[in-house]
C-alpha cells in the first residue's frame, strides 16, 4: 500500500502541510502506510504510545472504559487528523477504527525528533491541540445545556461537515443533498451524546419529518436542509 506524499489526499490538512518539499520528502521516507479494518485498535489505553499517525481515510473513535467496564466514546477522528501523544506518557484512551481506515504511521521517537527540528510543525501541533481543547469545551457546553434534539442535530451537522472535506473534496459547509453513511451505530451515537438509543432514533425521525434530513435505510443520511440542521443544533434549554 505504498503511497508517496504527493499522492496523499489529505496532505494539506495534516501537520505535514507545515513542511517544505525537502523536509516532507525526508519525513515520508521515515513513515509507513498502514490499513486497519473496522474494529482494529491502533493504540490501547495504558500502553506506551509507540506511534504517531496521520489519518488519511476513514473514521476512528477515541474510547475509554468506565469503572463499570463498559466502553464510552469520547471523540472521533477524521481524515487529516493527527493521532498520537508526542512527548507524553501512556495513552488514557483506545484509538479504534470505526470504518476501514488508512494511516501514515511514524515511530514516535522519530516523529518527536522531526518536531524538535521543525518549529513550524511544532507550532501547528500546538495550534491544533488548542483548537481541539476549544472544541471539547464547546462540546461540554452542548452536552450540559442543549436539548436532545440539538445534540443529535449537532452531531449530524458536525459529521457532515467533517466528511464533506474527505477524499480530496473541499467544502465551506454541508451542501443540500449531501449523503453519507454513519460510521457509528445508533447505540454508539447514544453513548457519545449521553442519550438513549430510543431518544436518538426519535430525534432522527423528527428531523426527517421536518424535511431536514433523509433516512434512506441502513446507516445512510441525506442532509436535505443544511441551514435548518445547523439551526436545530443551537436549541438550548
pLDDT averaged over the chain? 86
Which one of 66-70, 131-135, 143-147, 202-206 scores highest in mean pLDDT? Answer: 202-206
Give 173's pLDDT tier (boundaries 50, 70, 90): low
Angle (CA) 141-230-175 rounded to 5° is: 140
Helices (H) and strands (E) in the chain — how many of each?
A: 7, 11
First to last CA, the chain: 49
**CA dihedral over 108, 113, 116, 121, signed as positive or negative:** negative
The set of residues, in sequence order, having a beta carbon less than 8 Å from that of 34 and lying 6+ positions away, is 1, 53, 102, 103, 104, 105
CB 13 within 8 A of CB 80: yes
Percentage of the chain beyond pLDDT 90 is 43
What domains appear along the chain, each with residue ranges and CATH number?
5-137 (2.60.120.10), 147-232 (1.10.10.10)
Strand, coil or helix: 42: strand
The set of residues, in sequence order, having a beta carbon less than 8 Å from that of 137 and lying 6+ positions away, is none
C-alpha cell of 236? 438550548
Q: What is the pLDDT of residues 184-230, one digit of tens each?
A: 999 999 999 989 999 999 999 999 999 999 999 989 999 999 999 99
Give 166's pLDDT tier (boundaries 50, 70, 90): low
Question: Which parts of the chain fold into alpha helices (H)?
Answer: 21-28, 108-117, 119-145, 148-163, 186-193, 197-209, 226-232
d(CA 220, CA 213): 10
Place of cell 513513515: 31
Residue 206 confidence (pLDDT)? 96
Cα–Cα nearest to 31, from 107, 84, 95:
107
d(CA 164, CA 208): 20
Angle (CA) 73-77-83 rounded to 5° is: 105
Give 47's pLDDT tier (boundaries 50, 70, 90): confident
Q: Residue 7 pLDDT > 70, yes or no? A: no
Amino acid at each position: 500500500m505504498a503511497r508517496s506524499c504527493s499522492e496523499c489526499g489529505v496532505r494539506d490538512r495534516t501537520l505535514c502541510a507545515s513542511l517544505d518539499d525537502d523536509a516532507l520528502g525526508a519525513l515520508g521516507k521515515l513513515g509507513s502506510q498502514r490499513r486497519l479494518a473496522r474494529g482494529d485498535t491502533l493504540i490501547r489505553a495504558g500502553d506506551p504510545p509507540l506511534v504517531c499517525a496521520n489519518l488519511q481515510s476513514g473514521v476512528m473513535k477515541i474510547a475509554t472504559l468506565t469503572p463499570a467496564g463498559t466502553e464510552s466514546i469520547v471523540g472521533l477522528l477524521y481524515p487529516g487528523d493527527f493521532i498520537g501523544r508526542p512527548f507524553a506518557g501512556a495513552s488514557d484512551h483506545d484509538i479504534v477504527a470505526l470504518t476501514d481506515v488508512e494511516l501514515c504511521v511514524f515511530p514516535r521517537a522519530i516523529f518527536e525528533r522531526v518536531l524538535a527540528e521543525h518549529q513550524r510543525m511544532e507550532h501547528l501541533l500546538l495550534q491544533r491541540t488548542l483548537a481541539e481543547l476549544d472544541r471539547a469545551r464547546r462540546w461540554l457546553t452542548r452536552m450540559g445545556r442543549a436539548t436532545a434534539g440539538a445534540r443529535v442535530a449537532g452531531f449530524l451537522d458536525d459529521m457532515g461537515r467533517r466528511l464533506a472535506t474527505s477524499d480530496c473534496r473541499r467544502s465551506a459547509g454541508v451542501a443540500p443533498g449531501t449523503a453519507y453513511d454513519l460510521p457509528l451505530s445508533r447505540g454508539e451515537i447514544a453513548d457519545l451524546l449521553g442519550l438513549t438509543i430510543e431518544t436518538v432514533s426519535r430525534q432522527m425521525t423528527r428531523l426527517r419529518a421536518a424535511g431536514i434530513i433523509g433516512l434512506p435505510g441502513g446507516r445512510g443520511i441525506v442532509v436535505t436542509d443544511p441551514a435548518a440542521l445547523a439551526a436545530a443544533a443551537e436549541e438550548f434549554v
